[in-house]
Structure 1
């Protein structure tokens, strides 16, 4: 970003003096420089005009800065709500919590983000069994101390067992949350909506101990998996599944004190780049966000057929007040009446029936068949169920329009409303009709691009107002003697206050005896972005590549692959795996990207899922004419044999020399301030001489020879090791012989 110059850096007197000093050089015949001279008057006039122009040019107001940001496609972001995982315990029977169930952390209100079935079971034991060991990590799970899900090496055939005090309910959707350890030096690529889904390099299978053939209790049966946001335990997330038949209790070592009901996760295909470490496994858990919903809208597609019904699982839909809307053939919305029985309706009556299931906490909307009640017309998103709180019944009406241009209406102050959650409607009565029809209006940042027919409004969160257009830039709402402007959807929340500590989300009043808590702090809450922060974000986004053209573009985009920890990337243009004599020989329109995942191994190896995820991500950014190849790094083992002459008191420093060689010949940075060995860089004997010679006590290096193991390298006559461009090196078992200077 170019620095902003100070344009208003000269005053009137300075400009006049500079102009008068230049007169003898430019016009020697001009000798009268007194103030009565017309030329001096013109100089003073031009200096005054220049000073005024510089003053205004140097002033960039906040409004101007917002317009400049808009030209770049940027607007300050709204406040973001904090999110946390909450777990429920103490249930005596099954309980369904619909989406939007309120929770409390002191004075902060949270709402669940999904509908969850709570089952009356408790997680009692967590076991990990591998080929060589078996461990009970129940205490680790309670204390949130990380443990390996399949052992440090995560080999095929390892098992993770979850033991419950009672059988999980059959044919019931059950959710288990897994919080994985993620405090590694390399961060996970940020995931946004619409990004490429992550593909795991490993594969797990879930089973439960149930009754097999002839009533055998030790038969492991597959569970019916509904969703797995953990992606085979590659990241924190939720597993949703169903138990298909009766569970049977069994005793498993080392928790064989009594029989329990077990669910088993088996590693069927290994290949994790980073062996998963679990911090917490939680049954009956769901995500919750710091927010308060006053009114929400659920839309449905109409088939145009008789006897249509729609179902929704939502806290407001079950406990709040309701309005039903259907869009007519002209595109206007009409309120339909909610009746007790559809049989009481005439064929042309706009009526529907609302039914609620107290066990499942669901709300069902039923429409007529053309004989008892009109049929909603066919179309996408043409039926709406609006649910709102009783307190918001009156507050949802903003006011009545006077039909004047530029009208402003004040809404409740002191609340941080989310502009993205707003849905505003304006109503009017068509000529010859007694019913009010409603139209949706869209929120915009300003009216710059609004036409005279656009139903737009501007929400000012600082002033707590909404403003309408003037019939030139934005349509003016039609005049009405009664309130005809209302909110259909409105939500408040966001800010850093929602980032509460762990254990503070405890308020839950739906059922007595049920406890709720958040095992980990709520994170992600942000205040609304200021103009200064938005300008800084513009600088960062302008520097971020969005199209993969150069090698640096490919490396930056690959390293930011969502959901992955990419430690190192090397883009090799005009190269295809298997080529020889590169870069003398080049392959047109080819790009090879070599990736190294973050790992605790000395030789991090990217699995097939890791490579496929990066390739899919790069495919969205590459040029159509470029053929892309994503490959793992090749590792060449380097073993150094050296004879070193030392000072007598440093004769036994072989360990120090080998340590320095390992630090030099490493593929990854291990906290030493260097990235690691450069891709494709030749291992010269001079590198080894230089490292050893810098060690304290070394007199000189008498002899060095280097051995290498791997594929694709060659050794020249001087003893240097030339490695391919996609390769890195790692240390073998170096052999160092030290000789005292006095022994020569």
Structure 2
């Protein structure tokens, strides 16, 4: 970082004294230097002005720092909304919970992210059956205590049985929300945000089926629609359909009565970390901390007669709606919603709006050119929905035609900057109707042109600011309010991180939802306040330091360690090496990079499965240099067995356990909070063993020592040292210690 010069390096008194000393040389006729002299007054005034200028020139203000962040392509982050999973129970029949349904958590509102079709069934039993054991883990599920979905070893053929109190409906989308334990010392990598980057290739294969016979012998495969859990490798949702009816039967140890069973079978168990369930529930959906005041849903006109547009949502169904159609000349014109199109003429801009109660669906129907006009092909159609009681919050005010107009929203806000859409209108001179134009929110007007419809929303001050016709257009002048929001939300911030069970139900009473109970089984997370300037500067430093292109070996290791969705415990990049080479590093392979990875696991010697290696390889491939070939392999484990004759103090000659313990701690592939473990490819020198044993209490000296090794590509030299391949790690065998008392020699 460049050093900042200190421009404010002179004080006021110093500048006055320097000026007075220069008077005899510059103006010898000036002899009166007392305070009453006007010249001294001017001199002090100029010294004061100079000192103030230097002070301001030396300052780097918050505004300057924000501009510097903008030059780096960064800015302070807006507030972030919290989110949690919400489970619904108590449905007596099929019930539709539309997208955007508000849920109440004391004085805060959460809204569902997608439409959910409730299934009138409850999860009653959860049984895990492995090759050697069977157990009922229903109590764990109710208390949130983690348990292994396929046992600690996750062997092939292990099964997870999910019992329901009634059969699941046929030909209906059914979702199971699955949450795995996240309490591990190695975090999940976050090196990407796009769906493509977050795609996880599973090493294991899980198939799902359901009981289709009453004796428990007949099982039919489900029609799997979506599996975001990657075969139970991560938390997510399982969406499927049944093609025929379920049959009940009793199963040990839940043989008190017959139930309807869904079964997950581990066809191929290659988990790096055996899945450990904390929550599994049906009828669940993600909810976000927000409250929608207005929203818009867009469609595209096909040019066909009798065009029908449908949407499912809470606000479109229960709120007030209006319809806008984009015109060829630009802007949006509102179309009238009429009870029946039969009353409309060929050129009337009108449409019908029909609400379907069973699915909470809103259906717009447009004319055919005889009864009602047809939207032009390719034009945009917008359904604007808003809460009637809060319509006043959508209106901003009237444009005065002056530059840099401001509107104070502090009494009604603050609002979320995300999803904010504002419109300003002008009167069409030929028809006299309002024409609405969309205005885009920007951080500042630095890059705004005179024709750009931009505005700035200052959340801290609660102000809406417009341009001056040089940087950003001025809204049209109007005597009536002509500036409004069509999409607006409140919410976000750390207050949304509510505890488990704080969501108590629906925010508004809907008769058809009577008896349905909503609750969050886990706490909401992710809510954060608007990022401060200091926090943004620290984040920028971290992001600039993080590698985005794999050039050096360190870059490859850092990027591989942050592979999205994986827990990478250790990684070693080996440049100019290709798997199979025997004389490395004397023999080198140009443009080759081999990356050895070790996944986090509860086993002593974790092996990376094929899906794990493929996921790391895909992630590295996005960051490699053109022409570099990447090979991602699992670490090789070399078994090291030490044989030693150790001379001990008489009091310690029967205690070989401490020596074996220190060797096991030294010769291990993974650390346990006190180091990473043995370095990749490092030779095991006899001197390492001599030193580790000699430092123990009671050891006089090591009389003799030799080392045996077993593993791929391992080599023992004439001195007895063990040379590992560059991707090799060591683990301890059964060390043999012969102890001799010093007095016995």
> Which bracket does the TM-score occupy, shorter chain normalised?
over 0.9
Separation (CA, whole Å) in 2 of partners of 1:271 and 1:39:
93
- Cα pair 2:410 2:461 within 8 Å, conserved: no
Alignment of 1:141-540 (within 5 A): 141-190=141-190, 192-196=193-197, 197-211=199-213, 218-379=217-378, 382-413=380-411, 415-508=413-506, 509-510=509-510, 511-540=513-542
Separation (CA, whole Å) in 2 of partners of 1:48 and 1:681:
68
1:386-442 deviations in whole A, cap 9, x for unaligned?
Answer: 111012323312111121111111225363311121001111123312222111110
Question: Is the partner of 1:379 in helix, strand or coil?
Answer: coil
Quickly say closer, same or farther: Cα 1:483–1:600, change in 2 above 3 A: same
Counterpart of 2:546 in structure 1 is 544
Alignment of 1:623-642 (within 5 A): 623-642=625-644
Once the two structures are TM-superposed, the CA of residue 13 in structure 1 deviates from its matched residue by 4.8
Counterpart of 2:697 in structure 1 is 696
1:310-362 deviations in whole A, cap 9, x for unaligned?
Answer: 22121111111101111122332111111222232222222222222211122
Counterpart of 2:40 in structure 1 is none
Question: Is the partner of 1:656 in helix, strand or coil?
Answer: helix
Once the two structures are TM-superposed, the CA of residue 502 in structure 1 deviates from its matched residue by 0.6
Separation (CA, whole Å) in 1 of partners of 2:540 and 2:406:
31
Counterpart of 1:38 in structure 2 is 26
- Cα pair 1:304 1:377 within 8 Å, conserved: yes
Separation (CA, whole Å) in 2 of partners of 1:476 and 1:141:
59
- Cα pair 2:301 2:376 within 8 Å, conserved: yes
Once the two structures are TM-superposed, the CA of residue 611 in structure 1 deviates from its matched residue by 1.3
Counterpart of 2:74 in structure 1 is 74
- Cα pair 1:559 1:566 within 8 Å, conserved: yes
Q: Determine if the alignment matches structure 1 residue 575 to structure 2 residue 577.
A: yes
Counterpart of 1:677 in structure 2 is 678
* Bigger mean CA deviation after superposition, 285-294 or 411-420: 411-420
Separation (CA, whole Å) in 2 of partners of 1:546 and 1:467:
36
Separation (CA, whole Å) in 2 of partners of 1:209 and 1:656:
55
Quickly say closer, same or farther: Cα 1:444–1:631, change in 2 above 3 A: same
Once the two structures are TM-superposed, the CA of residue 467 in structure 1 deviates from its matched residue by 0.8
Counterpart of 1:27 in structure 2 is none
* Bigger mean CA deviation after superposition, 358-367 or 71-80: 358-367
Alignment of 1:712-731 (within 5 A): 712-731=713-732
Counterpart of 1:708 in structure 2 is 709
Separation (CA, whole Å) in 2 of partners of 1:202 and 1:82:
32
Once the two structures are TM-superposed, the CA of residue 35 in structure 1 deviates from its matched residue by 4.2
Question: Is the partner of 2:418 in helix, strand or coil?
Answer: helix
Once the two structures are TM-superposed, the CA of residue 12 in structure 1 deviates from its matched residue by 4.7
Separation (CA, whole Å) in 2 of partners of 1:195 and 1:2:
38
Unaligned runs of 5+ in 2: 31-42
Separation (CA, whole Å) in 2 of partners of 1:690 and 1:6:
54
Separation (CA, whole Å) in 2 of partners of 1:91 and 1:352:
35
1:585-629 deviations in whole A, cap 9, x for unaligned?
Answer: 222221111111111111111111111111211222211221122
Once the two structures are TM-superposed, the CA of residue 16 in structure 1 deviates from its matched residue by 8.2
Equivalenced residues, count: 726
Separation (CA, whole Å) in 2 of partners of 1:4 and 1:505:
52
Question: Normalised by the size of structure 1, how large is the TM-score?
Answer: 0.94
Q: Determine if the alignment matches structure 1 residue 108 to structure 2 residue 108.
A: yes
Question: Is the partner of 1:649 in helix, strand or coil?
Answer: helix
Question: Normalised by the size of structure 2, how large is the TM-score?
Answer: 0.94
Separation (CA, whole Å) in 1 of partners of 2:279 and 2:207:
20
Separation (CA, whole Å) in 2 of partners of 1:413 and 1:392:
14
Alignment of 1:86-105 (within 5 A): 86-105=86-105
- Cα pair 1:195 1:562 within 8 Å, conserved: no
* Bigger mean CA deviation after superposition, 491-500 or 575-584: 575-584
Unaligned runs of 5+ in 1: 21-31
Question: Is the partner of 1:420 in helix, strand or coil?
Answer: coil
1:688-713 deviations in whole A, cap 9, x for unaligned?
Answer: 11111111111111111111111111
Separation (CA, whole Å) in 2 of partners of 1:717 and 1:484:
90
- Cα pair 2:414 2:462 within 8 Å, conserved: no
Counterpart of 1:25 in structure 2 is none
Counterpart of 1:64 in structure 2 is 64
Once the two structures are TM-superposed, the CA of residue 5 in structure 1 deviates from its matched residue by 5.9
Separation (CA, whole Å) in 2 of partners of 1:16 and 1:698:
78
Once the two structures are TM-superposed, the CA of residue 193 in structure 1 deviates from its matched residue by 3.4
Separation (CA, whole Å) in 2 of partners of 1:714 and 1:294:
71
Quickly say closer, same or farther: Cα 1:216–1:419, change in 2 above 3 A: same
Once the two structures are TM-superposed, the CA of residue 743 in structure 1 deviates from its matched residue by 2.0
Separation (CA, whole Å) in 2 of partners of 1:377 and 1:216:
61
Question: Is the partner of 1:226 in helix, strand or coil?
Answer: strand
- Cα pair 1:117 1:175 within 8 Å, conserved: no
Question: Is the partner of 1:250 in helix, strand or coil?
Answer: strand
- Cα pair 1:346 1:371 within 8 Å, conserved: yes
Once the two structures are TM-superposed, the CA of residue 648 in structure 1 deviates from its matched residue by 1.5
Separation (CA, whole Å) in 1 of partners of 2:72 and 2:548:
14
1:614-650 deviations in whole A, cap 9, x for unaligned?
Answer: 1211222211221122111111111111121111111
1:229-283 deviations in whole A, cap 9, x for unaligned?
Answer: 2111111111122222111001112212211000001111211110000011111
